[in-house]
């Protein structure tokens, strides 16, 4: 649905996006992740045609965005909803009026607007706040209003730029669940920009990692977290402190295996003791995955790796 090939973007002489090539499929929840200044918002603005680019190609539904004339661009942008960190609500308008705004601008009939706004407020769970003003709402409620507003013109794509960054963890989680629900119910492709790995883990099926405008990772979310390469580890700030003696083996548990007490079973079966150096289970995109580092005596290595291999567990020696 969104195909980007060899995209370069400059501000004056400064290159802020370097050779980006990605594909975002219809119905996917896709994350663009990176630290401040990585180029995330710039890439998002290129996707919705707010920012132009000279080099490379960016197609949405097979249309090259930079080739659209003014009218086509306006029509194109109608089908893209957007939400932001600070909600961008109009303070002197009620919830109803805020949500109704895009439809009013496009000249929809009053009854149509009224029905749509009510339906959307019910979808985001805010029917009873219809006459409230933004300053009477919590942060999470404001973002729900902004989400309803972004959906009024039945978009194909919803873009989210740090939409949960101003919210506490519980509210973040409930907003992400709402986005997931919208993605499933309305089959809207969602592209989220975030600097929070927790957000990626909770919601994204696929992610792009950006650093100083460069792609440092592009893969299914589970792959990125389950078997991070050096760049990803640096990115996560994860340095592995392991014992100097013996041998350290890191095990990667696939989706359904994580729950099994693999290590206990192995210890029993091989009649051996292991030190568990560290391990963690994580929920990534609704699947539980995990990795664990064990320390063992050098002479036990062969037996152990044989056992691990027999159980199709991915591992490496650290």
Site for ligand ATP, rule CB under 6 A: 11, 16, 34, 36-42, 195
Q: Which residue has its beta carbon closest to Mg ion?
A: 41
Q: Segment contacting Mg ion (CB under 5 A): 39-47, 64-72, 144-152, 238-246? A: 39-47
Q: Which is nearer to ligand ATP, 20 or 38 (CB)?
A: 38
Cβ–Cβ < 8 Å for 213, 35: no
Q: Which is nearer to Mg ion, 163 or 292 (CB)?
A: 163
> Cα-atom radius of gyration of the chain, to the nearest Å?
23
Q: Which is nearer to Mg ion, 41 or 189 (CB)?
A: 41
Q: Which is nearer to ligand ATP, 11 or 106 (CB)?
A: 11
Q: How many CA atoms lie within 13 A of 312 on its CB side?
A: 5
Task: In angstroms, give the least distance from the CB of 21 to ligand ATP.
Answer: 18
For 140, phi and psi rounded to 5 degrees?
-60, -40
Say how far apart CA 120 and CA 96 lie, in whole Å: 10
Q: Which does 16 bind (CB under 5 to 8 A by kind): Mg ion, ligand ATP, none?
A: ligand ATP
Q: Which does 116 bind (CB under 5 to 8 A by kind): Mg ion, ligand ATP, none?
A: none
Q: Which does 216 bind (CB under 5 to 8 A by kind): Mg ion, ligand ATP, none?
A: none
The candidate with the shortest Cα–Cα distance to 285, out of 28, 33, 81, 34, is 28
Q: Burial level of 289, CB count in 10 A (0-12/13-18/19+)?
A: buried
Distances (CA, A) of 76 to 23, 26, 72, 155: 19, 16, 6, 10
For 50, phi and psi rounded to 5 degrees?
-80, -20
Task: In angstroms, give the least distance from the CB of 46 to Mg ion.
Answer: 13
Q: Which does 39 bind (CB under 5 to 8 A by kind): ligand ATP, Mg ion, none?
A: ligand ATP
Strand ranges (DSSP E) for 74-156?
80-84
Task: In angstroms, give the least distance from the CB of 250 to ligand ATP.
Answer: 31
Task: In angstroms, give the least distance from the CB of 31 to ligand ATP.
Answer: 13
Task: In angstroms, give the least distance from the CB of 166 to ligand ATP.
Answer: 13
Task: By CB under 5 A, tell whether 41 contacts Mg ion.
Answer: yes
Cβ–Cβ < 8 Å for 10, 22: no
Task: In angstroms, give the least distance from the CB of 313 to ligand ATP.
Answer: 36
SS3 65: helix
Q: Which is nearer to ligand ATP, 38 or 157 (CB)?
A: 38
Cβ–Cβ < 8 Å for 188, 30: no
Q: Which does 255 bind (CB under 5 to 8 A by kind): ligand ATP, Mg ion, none?
A: none
């Amino acid at each position: 649905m969104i195909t980007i090939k060899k995209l370069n973007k400059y501000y004056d002489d400064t290159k802020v996006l370097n050779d980006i090539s990605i594909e975002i499929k219809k119905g996917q929840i896709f994350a663009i992740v990176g630290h401040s200044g990585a180029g995330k918002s710039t890439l998002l603005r290129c996707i919705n045609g707010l920012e132009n680019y000279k080099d490379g190609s960016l197609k949405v539904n097979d249309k090259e965005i930079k080739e659209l004339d003014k009218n086509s661009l306006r029509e194109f942008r109608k089908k893209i909803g957007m939400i932001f960190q600070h909600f961008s609500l109009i303070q002197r308008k009620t919830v109803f009026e805020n949500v109704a705004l895009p439809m009013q601008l496009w000249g929809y009939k009053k009854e149509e607007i009224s029905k749509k706004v009510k339906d959307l407020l019910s979808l985001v769970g805010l029917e009873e706040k219809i006459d409230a003003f933004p300053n009477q709402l919590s942060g999470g409620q404001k973002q729900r209003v902004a989400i309803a507003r972004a959906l009024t013109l039945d978009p194909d794509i919803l873009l989210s730029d740090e939409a949960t960054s101003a919210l506490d963890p519980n509210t973040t989680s409930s907003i992400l669940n709402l986005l997931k629900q919208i993605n499933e119910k309305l089959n809207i492709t969602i592209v989220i920009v975030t600097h929070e790995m927790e957000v990626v883990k909770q919601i994204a099926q696929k992610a792009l990692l950006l650093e100083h405008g460069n792609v440092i990772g592009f893969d299914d979310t589970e792959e990125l977290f389950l078997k991070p390469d050096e760049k990803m580890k640096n990115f996560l700030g994860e340095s592995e402190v392991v014992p100097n003696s013996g041998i350290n083996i890191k095990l990667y548990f696939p989706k359904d295996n994580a729950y099994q007490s693999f290590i206990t079973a192995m210890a029993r079966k091989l009649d051996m003791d292991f030190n568990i150096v560290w391990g963690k289970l994580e929920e990534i995109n609704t699947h539980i995955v995990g990795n664990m580092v064990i320390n063992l005596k050098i002479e036990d290595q062969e037996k152990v790796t044989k056992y691990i291999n027999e159980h199709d567990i991915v591992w490496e020696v650290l």
